[in-house]
């Protein structure tokens, strides 16, 4: 009996102990099935996305026994981690410092810690051991550097970044940043008004292109100062630039408590990489956001209306050719010509998509032409030809730039008619619409004779090698037929002073030239009325030999093409024989931003580039008198030791 009790006791004792243990504690380790998306978010969360440290940084805090302390005393925790990182030269701790400094800066609004986040991120990226390219911290560290740098320098009104030499007294020591202000002088213009574009929400553009890399992407105001002599660059121009603070021997300097760095400003649109610690690193760029920022600052609709009715006369009377970037020798200009009551802003999406295609960008550059779209089309065509001829003569006086000699002109709507006027030989056909008198027999002021002759006797531009017509009313627009529309236009439109003065002068000296008496009806809308004598002459003129032509025609419906239109122009008017290709897209008249239209333009440009042969070496042309002669990029790299 006793032995039996002892046996039971021996068996029961372990069970009793186990039961007691289970009663006092539960297992701290377990797993639980979760939604895969939630797990992925938790694994990839970081200070930039969730306002919480990443798993990698949390691991560092736990490993150092500092997790709870960071929640209650982040400043003390950061100081302790700094001591550990310097003492142990530990990559993981430098990354944790970058992320935690950024978090604390965001929560405390203390920009010193934003700057420290950038310093620590640079140390992690370029101060330690080579990083595994699949390490998820690599991209996070770059973004921490970029954002920390932006927030550290952001101090101007409206969130502007002020680039200058500065000295910061930080909790970890003194930071001296050197900067050469001469880099702010760019092609005769002063760069300023720097806006961090990574933080901008872009609307109105379907595509947002960015190049991930190192540096703070900014939009820089490169507007021409009042009274500056005309140059090819757009007057109200914004350009994408990248700010970079370079720190040599970063860990040694952090350990010393005195850090010297150089602030660089990279302004060359063609520069893709920068050398850091014997590595080629991509530069961060946000071209779409910069383009959107530039267009958003212009009251587009108001300007288009005022330009059409003739209120904006100073520049539009002359026409204005503008480039979005300085000319690079060997690159082919694409000249975009807008339509009636429109502006270059309507090309924004097409420019955005095309110029962010490396195949297009390495061979082409974008130019735009603005004009008073109510003026007589022959006069506007003359302004376009003159602007292009003057630009080519200025950029390439010796005629050796092969890119300029392969120019492509793309016109939408009325702009297509102007485009055709760059590619035809009219002889005296337009003059015969005006009078039966010989041009030589007409009494004219010498200046008027020169202008009228250049406008009426059209010759193809020798450097234009391709024209593209988009929704072009070669035989007129049915909207222009409306007496109501024509009456309104006649009453509100003011012709350019040059046209009015010349017309009056011609009639005064030649009263028998009665065809010009009704001057108030000499406008673009009248020119685009079906059956107008000007249109009859222009549509009959063939494209000059050696110039390729392509058509893109929009239709709204799916019926027979002969019965279709885009709401403004009929297919039968836009169709032009003898072109290399004709693409039908289903769209309304404003088709410039439609993907199918853009893709057709891309196809045409790639074909044109292939036929044009290999590009020249990308040597920057000294387009403006104040432009650097040898390179676009000007970078401040003042040696800290000097």
**How many of the other CB atoms lie within 10 Å of CB of 165?**
14
For range 132-145, the mean pLDDT: 94
> Does residue 427 register a pLDDT over 80?
yes
Angle between helices 91-108 and 74-88 (to 10 degrees): 160
Q: Could you tell me which of 61, 108, 114 has the C-alpha nearest to residue 84? A: 61
- pLDDT tens-digit readout, 597-607: 999 999 999 99
pLDDT, the chain, mean: 84
So what's the pLDDT on residue 310? 47
The token duo for 177 is: 């940043």
Residues with Cβ within 8 Å of residue 519, at least 6 apart in sequence: 495, 500, 503, 504, 507
CA separation for the pair 396, 462 (Å, rounded):
14
For range 359-377, the mean pLDDT: 91
- Name the DSSP letter for residue 614: S
* Residue that is written with structure tokens 């010509």 in the block: 337
For residue 474, give the 3-state DSSP assignment: coil
The token duo for 561 is: 């093409």
Cα radius of gyration rounded to whole Å, the chain: 33
- pLDDT tens-digit readout, 75-94: 999 999 999 999 999 999 99
Binned at pLDDT 50, 70 and 90, residue 640 comes out as: very low
* Residue that is written with structure tokens 């021409």 in the block: 224
Higher pLDDT, 367 or 436: 367
For range 570-576, the mean pLDDT: 97
Instruction: Check: CB of residue 355 under 8 Å from CB of residue 425.
Output: no
| Number of helical (H) and strand (E) elements in the chain, helices listed first | 23, 17
Instruction: Check: CB of residue 412 under 8 Å from CB of residue 350.
Output: no
The token duo for 174 is: 């003194």
Binned at pLDDT 50, 70 and 90, residue 14 comes out as: low
Following DSSP, what letter does each residue of 234-301 receive, concatenated?
Answer: -SS-EEEEEEEEE-TTHHHHHHHTEEEEEEEEE--TT--EEEETTEEEEBPB-HHHHHHHHHHTS-HH
Following DSSP, what letter does each residue of 295-346 receive, concatenated?
Answer: HHTS-HHHHHHHHHHTS--TTTTT-EEEESS--BTTPEEEEEE--TT--GGG
- Name the DSSP letter for residue 19: H
So what's the pLDDT on residue 458? 96
Angle between helices 111-126 and 91-108 (to 10 degrees): 160
> Does residue 369 register a pLDDT over 60?
yes
Residue 268's DSSP bridge partners are none
CA separation for the pair 226, 269 (Å, rounded):
25
The token duo for 229 is: 């002599």
> Residue 417: is it exposed, middle or buried by C-beta count within 10 angstroms (0-12/13-18/19+)?
buried
CA separation for the pair 78, 59 (Å, rounded):
15
- pLDDT tens-digit readout, 170-195: 999 999 999 999 999 999 899 999 99
- pLDDT tens-digit readout, 142-170: 999 999 999 988 776 677 898 999 999 99
For range 331-353, the mean pLDDT: 93
> Does residue 499 register a pLDDT over 80?
no
Pairing of β 548-555 and β 581-586: parallel
Binned at pLDDT 50, 70 and 90, residue 130 comes out as: confident
Total length of the chain: 642
Interior/surface letters 378-403, b for 16+ CB within 10 angstroms, e for the rest = bbbbbbbbbbbeebbeebbeeeebbb
Instruction: Extract long-range pairs of 303-307: CB within 8 Å, 24+ residues apart.
Output: 303/343, 304/341, 304/342, 304/343, 305/341, 307/341, 307/343, 307/370, 307/372, 307/373
For residue 467, give the 3-state DSSP assignment: strand
So what's the pLDDT on residue 498? 61
Residues with Cβ within 8 Å of residue 341, at least 6 apart in sequence: 304, 305, 307, 308, 373, 374
For range 31-39, the mean pLDDT: 70
So what's the pLDDT on residue 636? 31
- pLDDT tens-digit readout, 252-306: 999 999 999 999 999 998 899 999 988 999 999 999 999 998 888 765 444 544 4
Binned at pLDDT 50, 70 and 90, residue 71 comes out as: very high
Q: Report residue 480 CA to chain centroid gap.
A: 35
Instruction: Check: CB of residue 426 under 8 Å from CB of residue 460.
Output: no
For the chain, the straight-line distance linking the first and the last C-alpha, in angstroms and rounded, comes to 98
So what's the pLDDT on residue 12? 53
So what's the pLDDT on residue 446? 82
Residue 338's DSSP bridge partners are none
CA separation for the pair 364, 358 (Å, rounded):
10
- pLDDT tens-digit readout, 293-322: 888 876 544 454 445 444 444 444 578 999
CA separation for the pair 492, 494 (Å, rounded):
7
């Amino acid at each position: 009996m006793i032995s039996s009790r002892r046996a039971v006791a021996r068996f029961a004792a372990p069970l009793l102990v186990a039961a007691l243990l289970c009663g006092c504690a539960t297992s701290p380790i377990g797993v639980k099935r979760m939604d895969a998306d939630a797990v992925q978010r938790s694994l990839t969360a970081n200070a930039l996305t969730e306002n919480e440290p990443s798993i990698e940084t949390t691991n560092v805090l736990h490993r150092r026994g500092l997790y709870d302390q960071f929640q209650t005393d982040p400043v003390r925790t950061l100081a302790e981690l700094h001591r550990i990182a310097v003492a142990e030269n530990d990559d993981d701790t430098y990354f944790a410092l970058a992320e935690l400094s950024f978090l604390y800066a965001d929560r405390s609004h203390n920009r010193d810690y934003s700057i420290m986040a950038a310093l620590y991120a640079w140390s992690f990226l370029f101060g330690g051991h080579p990083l595994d390219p699949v390490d998820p911290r690599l991209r996070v560290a770059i973004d921490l550097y970029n954002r920390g740098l932006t927030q550290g320098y952001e101090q101007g009104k409206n969130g502007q970044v002020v680039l200058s030499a500065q000295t910061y007294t930080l909790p970890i020591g003194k930071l001296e940043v050197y900067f050469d202000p001469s880099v702010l002088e760019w092609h005769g213009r002063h760069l300023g008004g720097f806006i961090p574009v990574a933080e901008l929400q872009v609307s109105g553009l379907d595509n947002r292109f960015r190049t991930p890399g190192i540096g703070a992407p900014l939009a820089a105001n490169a507007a021409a100062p009042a009274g500056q002599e005309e140059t090819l660059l757009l007057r109200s121009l914004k350009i994408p630039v990248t700010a970079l603070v370079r720190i040599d021997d970063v860990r040694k300097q952090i350990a010393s408590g005195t850090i010297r760095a150089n602030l660089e400003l990279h302004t060359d649109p063609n520069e893709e990489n920068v050398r850091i610690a014997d590595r080629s690193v991509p530069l961060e760029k946000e071209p779409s956001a910069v383009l959107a920022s530039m267009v958003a600052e212009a009251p587009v609709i108001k300007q288009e209306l005022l330009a059409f009715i003739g209120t904006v006369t100073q520049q539009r009377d002359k026409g204005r050719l503008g480039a979005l970037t300085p000319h690079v020798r060997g690159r082919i200009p694409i000249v975009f010509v807008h339509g009636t009551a429109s502006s270059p802003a309507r090309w924004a999406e097409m420019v955005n998509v095309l110029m962010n295609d490396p195949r297009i960008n390495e061979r082409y550059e974008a130019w735009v032409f603005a004009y008073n779209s109510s003026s007589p089309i022959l006069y506007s065509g003359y302004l376009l030809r003159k602007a292009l001829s003057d630009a080519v003569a200025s950029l390439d006086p010796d005629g050796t730039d092969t890119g300029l000699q392969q120019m492509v002109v793309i016109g939408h709507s009325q702009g297509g008619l102007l485009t055709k006027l760059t590619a035809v030989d009219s002889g005296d056909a337009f003059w015969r619409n005006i009078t039966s008198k010989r041009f030589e027999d007409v009494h004219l002021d010498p200046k008027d004779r020169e202008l009228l002759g250049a406008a009426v006797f059209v010759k193809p531009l020798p450097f234009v090698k391709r024209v593209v017509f988009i929704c072009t009313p070669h035989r007129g627009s049915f909207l222009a037929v409306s007496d109501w529309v024509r009456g309104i236009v006649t009453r509100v439109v003011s012709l350019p002073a040059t046209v009015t003065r010349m017309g009056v002068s011609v009639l005064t000296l030649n009263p028998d030239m009665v065809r010009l008496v009704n001057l108030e009806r000499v406008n673009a809308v009248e020119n685009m009325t079906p059956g107008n004598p000007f249109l009859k002459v222009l549509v009959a003129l063939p494209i000059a030999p050696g110039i390729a032509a392509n058509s893109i025609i929009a239709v709204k419906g799916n019926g027979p093409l002969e019965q279709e239109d885009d709401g403004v122009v009929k297919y039968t008017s836009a169709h032009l024989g003898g072109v290399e290709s004709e693409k039908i897209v289903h769209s309304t008249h404003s088709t410039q931003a439609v993907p199918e239209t853009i893709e057709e333009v891309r196809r045409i440009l790639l074909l044109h580039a292939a036929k044009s042969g290999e590009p020249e070496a990308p040597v920057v042309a000294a387009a403006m008198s104040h432009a650097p002669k040898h390179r676009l990029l000007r970078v401040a790299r003042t040696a800290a030791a000097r």
